Structure 1
Amino acid sequence: MPQETVFSCTDFNTLLDTYLPKLGSVQRTRVLEAAAIAFYHQQRDWPVVQALVCDDAPQFKLLTDDLALCWVDEGRHYKKLSPLVAYHQQALDKFLDDFWDYYRELLTYRDFPSAEVARELKSKFWKLFDTKSGYEQLDERKRLTVAKASELLLVLEHPELPLHNNPAELAARTMVQRRNVSYATQTTEGTQAWDTFMSLVATTRKLEISFFEYMRDRISQIRAIPSLAQVIREKSSLIPLGWSWQLESLPTPNY
């Protein structure tokens, strides 16, 4: 295929039809996804996100250089365990207490990060999740958590990262609830209008702007409320996101 060339969706599909006519639908989807991700990382029109905080769903893999997993979502896996034996119930209760105690220590670390505390928390992680409890299902679940240690502990390297992605989860849930109540839309235009207004509602709420006042301001063309993009830029400038990555990019002093 031609290199250093931007293809439209139609052009790329034509190339796939020409060179890989027997490609199955699933494999074709994977090729399209990989091409889209590769293009996203090399384009310069939009900032490329360095880190993503999400659950462990496979569709988030390779989207960003760094991936941080949601601790709340990880805790839900343990809440799903239903031990019948009293000893196992006690082991699970004790582990959950320790799990959330450790979570609270991570929250404290985000406010007061230090290399020494980071080493202590990393050691505590292995002690918490690598210790056998005697409850086989709990120990198996802990082994699965250990396999994701680097993603769960990314906050020790980058303390500005949140420990969960609940705001994003709740925003998506609002759309799902709306769809369930109204049984979706009937046309493409309706879907686009729906998505636009749901996005505006969620964005104005996060920015602490009245959605009603915002819509009245735009319909009346008074324009007293600045653009949401401008408000986002102003608010984000006050949050030191990315400072730990900036430290990594600084040259090492030559003493």
Structure 2
Amino acid sequence: MKNTLDQIVENIPKKDRENPTIIFLLEQFEQQFEIILTLKEQNQILKDEIARLKNQNPKPKIKPSKLPKDPQPQSSSKRSTQKKKKKKTATLKIDKEERIAPEHIPEGSIFKGLNPYTVRGLRVVPFNIRYLLEQWQTPEGNIVAGKLPSHVDGHFDSVLKSFILYQYHHCHVTQPLILEQLREWNIDISPCQINRILNEGKDQFHAEKDDILQTGLQFSDYINVDDTGARHNGKNGYCTHIGNEFFAWFKSTESKSRINFLQLLCASETDYLLSDDAFQYMIDARLPKSALSLLQASPLKTFTDSAQWKLHLKKVGIVKPRHIQIATEGALLANLLFHIPKKLVIVSDDAGQFNILSHSLCWVHAERTLAKLIVPSTKKQEVLEKVRQQVWDFYDELKTYKENPSEKENVRLQKAFDDIFTQYTDFQLLNLALKRLHTNKSELLLVLDRPEIPLHNNLSENDIREYVKKRKISGSTRSEAGQKCRDTFASLKKTCRKLGISFWQFLNDRLSGNNLIVPLSQIIEQRALSR
């Protein structure tokens, strides 16, 4: 089909190629071809689904072969040098040493020292402690008894609890496999006990997770945000990620609306405020003047929770769902701006619920608008590739600007942006895509005014991939405690990794009650201030 369209264009005399009728017919042909390609793809998907339902194999996806390159042989001197570099036993803790003599030492031999050979290993054995609590009867007949150490919490010690949490949340091992593993090591534990260790008594961890978000928002210049599906108790839901290079925070909810996102950002601050920021948002969102005047005339400006806010809206006569939504968004945004710096930038993939405050768009997602275009001819493919290359070259220039910003470069890059995204090509769908991207100029070029923010949303996508992996292995959550723990330990694990803290050591430290590791929120604050 591509060659056919090219041949048609080639056979048209040059003088007729500018004819409006011929241009219109070519565009119609191009659009019909795109529809055919789409239908062909959908038809193949349906065929594969039918084959699957009939227990047959779908059409195989055969990738082109990639022959491996022959490895270059290394010289013996180079191998020995690399071997020396990899030798890391100088600071390795040695738990046991064995001195081994030769099987036969000829008489008259001279001792020439020891040649160390280190073997790394691991010992996994049950370790059970029985506390014998003394009981004494006083002369008065009362019984006094010894007390368990403060770090003892139940019949399983902190190391075993840490191991179960580490396997489940860090290594993504399912509960049945953890049970099988522990029983193979002769550890007497039941499935219910494993479930309780995973989900009960985690208030300390939940509180630390909440502190992470509040501190992260307070001391960050920007946050990356994204969401993914998260079924709970048989119903569809969503998990929202908020984070940057210092922290990661996850929260599962039933909705992914803008109200939900604002409530997550407000965290424990549940107030609804009617301030100038709230009214400005309502004006920008085109709340009717009649509804706006009702709120502006209200003597009460602060509402402590959702119930009080909804009651007030009903009392003043705001009952239409759209009007309630805009007013609620404005009141939540005002509360958020009261507790965090207004300079905070939100970097997203252009999902509508994230478009608040200063909003920056991901360039990788923006370019996908061009990459997804269906191309009907080789000539238009060349046009598309040329424009995509211009976009990526401009992206490289933005990266250079971030390292050394200047007013002169700012002006030049804005003009270069206009030149790229307002150009007119022979590919009509490409022109429409460029026009759509140009309307997002302020969000795509926010980096010119704020060079510290990233150009893409890869950080959030990489963080949320951890949650997706867990969802694929363990499925959806059932209990509220299970859902809350999944969010909490995903947040703590990713935050520990960003701060360079061992998650295993973190779990042991918190469960043992030692608390030698500084609260993660304090480390985030220190890193942000020292940046």
Task: Give the TM-score, by structure 2 length.
Answer: 0.42
8 Å Cα contact 1:185/1:191 also seen in 2: yes
Identity of aligned residues (%): 32
Cα distance in structure 2, aligned partners of 1:18 and 1:10: 12
Point out where structure 2 has 5 or more consecutive residues left out of the alignment. 1-297
1:183 is displaced (CA, Å) by 2.6
Provide the rounded CA distance (Å) in 1 between the counterparts of 2:341 and 2:450.
Answer: 19
Q: Distance in 2 between matches of 1:190 and 1:33?
A: 30
Instruction: Please say which of residues 223-232 and 172-181 is displaced more in the overlay.
Output: 172-181
* Residue 15 of structure 1, aligned match among 304, 312, 319: 312
- Displacement after TM superposition at 1:22 (Å): 4.5
CA spacing shift, 1:53–1:83, aligned 2, 3 Å: same
Three-state SS of the structure 1 residue aligned to 2:374 is coil
Deviations along 1:105-154, one digit per CA (max 9) or x if unpaired, are 10011001111122221121111111112111111110011101111111
TM-superposed CA distance for 1:230, in Å, is 1.4
Match of 2:354 among 42, 45, 60: 60
**Structure 1 segment 75-86 matched on structure 2, within 5 A:** 75-86=367-378
Q: Distance in 1 between matches of 2:455 and 2:465?
A: 19
What's the offset of the Cα at 1:174? 2.5
Shift in Å at residue 17 of structure 1? Answer: 3.6
What pairs with 1:69-148 in structure 2 (closer than 5 Å)?
69-148=361-440
Provide the C-alpha distance between the structure 1 equivalents of 2:342 and 2:309, rounded to a whole number of angstroms: 22
Q: TM-score, normalised by structure 1?
A: 0.84
Q: Which structure shows the bigger proportion of residues in strand conformation?
A: 2
Determine the C-alpha separation between the residues in 2 that align with 1:90 and 1:124: 21
* DSSP 3-state at the match of 2:467: helix
The alignment yields a C-alpha RMSD, in angstroms, of 2.0
Of 443, 457, 460, 1:168 maps to 460
Name the CA distance, whole Å, in 1 between partners of 2:301 and 2:316. Answer: 18
Q: Distance in 2 between matches of 1:188 and 1:48?
A: 34
User: Aligned pair in 2 of structure 1 residues 120, 8: CA closer, same or farther (>3 Å)?
Assistant: same
Where do residues 25-44 of structure 1 align in structure 2 (5 Å cutoff)?
Answer: 27-41=323-337, 43-44=338-339
What is the aligned partner in structure 2 of residue 150 from structure 1? Answer: 442
Aligned counterparts of 1:67 and 1:21: Cα–Cα separation in 2: 29
Change (3 A) 1:21 1:110: closer
Contact in 2 for aligned 1:54/1:60 (Cα 8 Å)? yes
* Offset of residue 16 of structure 1: 3.0
Distance 2:475 2:320 in 1: 35
Equivalent-residue separation in structure 1 for 2:406 and 2:301 (angstroms): 44
Structure with bigger gyration radius: 2
The yes-or-no answer on 1:229 pairing with 2:526 is no
Output the CA distance in 2 between the equivalents of 1:187 and 1:71.
Answer: 38
Distance 1:138 1:6, change over 3 A: same
Is residue 78–residue 138 contact of structure 1 (8 Å, CA) maintained in 2? yes
1:199 matched to 2:491: yes
SS in 1 for 2:347: strand
Name the structure 1 match of 2:300.
Answer: 3
Q: Secondary structure at the match of 1:184?
A: coil
Partner Cα separation in structure 1 for residue 450 and residue 327 of structure 2: 32
SS at the partner of 1:108? helix
Q: For residue 112 of structure 1, what is the amino acid of its counterpart?
A: N
1:57 is matched by which residue type in structure 2?
Answer: A
**Contact 1:40/1:48 (8 A) holds in 2:** no
Question: Structure 2 CA distance, aligned partners of 1:118 and 1:141?
Answer: 24
Report the secondary structure of 1:178's partner residue: helix
Which amino acid is 1:37 matched to? L
Distance 1:14 1:234 in 2: 42
Where does residue 345 of structure 2 map in the other structure? 51
The alpha-carbon deviation at position 57 of structure 1 amounts to 1.7
Tell me how many residue pairs correspond in the alignment. 234
Larger RCO, structure (CA 8 Å, separation 6 or more): 2
Whole-angstrom distance in 2 between the partners of 1:36 and 1:226: 32
Query: Which range moves more in the overlay, 164-173 or 135-144?
Result: 164-173
Q: Unmatched 5+ residue regions in structure 1? A: 240-255
Q: Deviations over 1:28-80 (max 9, x none)?
A: 44433332112222x34x4455322222222122x31x221111111111111
Instruction: State how far apart, in whole Å, the 1-side matches of 2:429 and 2:393 are.
Output: 21
Separation in structure 1 between the aligned mates of residue 320 and residue 419 of structure 2, nearest angstrom? 47
Deviation at 1:98, TM superposition (A): 1.4
The structure-2 alpha-carbon separation of the partners of 1:156 and 1:173, relative to structure 1 and needing over 3 Å to count, comes to: same
Amino acid in the other structure paired with 2:417: F
The structure where helix makes up a greater share of residues is 1
Report whether the alignment pairs 1:187 with 2:479.
Answer: yes
